[in-house]
Amino acid sequence: MSYKIKALGFFKEQVSKLDVKSKRMIHDKIQLIRENPFRYKKIHSRHYSRVFRVRFDIKSKETRLIYAVIEPNIILVCLLDRKNDYKDLEKYLSKIGKR
């Protein structure tokens, strides 16, 4: 099945603030997600059953790219700083319904 990548405004805002190297890394991960959206680790959410995370470092900070698979779309939700222990995850996921 072919999925269509969509990004929330918040995600676009976060990416626009990054340097070129980080943007390239994120772009490469998004291409892998497009090929197989179920390749990365699934995380628990109260509102959505298919939420995944991609793990990588941006400027030596552990960061997670959070995305949800809502067929036929892959929705890029946010870049989550790992030190916050996913505390804000549900807040960011609630923005999916508002887009």
Please give the average per-residue pLDDT across 54-83, as a whole number.
Answer: 91
Query: Which distant-in-sequence residues (6+ apart) come within 8 Å of 54 by Cβ?
Result: 29, 33, 40, 64, 65, 67
* Tens-place pLDDT, residues 8-54: 999 999 999 999 999 999 999 999 999 999 999 999 988 889 999 99
Asked if 94 and 26 count as a contact pair (C-beta separation under 8 A), the reply is no
Residue 27 burial (CB count, 10 A): 10
Q: What are phi and psi of 25, to 5 degrees?
A: -60, -45
pLDDT of residue 96: 85
pLDDT of residue 18: 94
CATH of region 4-93: 3.30.2310.20
Q: Model pTM? A: 0.90
Confidence band (pLDDT; 50, 70, 90) for 99? low
What percent of the chain clears pLDDT 70, i.e. is strictly above it?
98
Token digits of residue 66: 């959070």
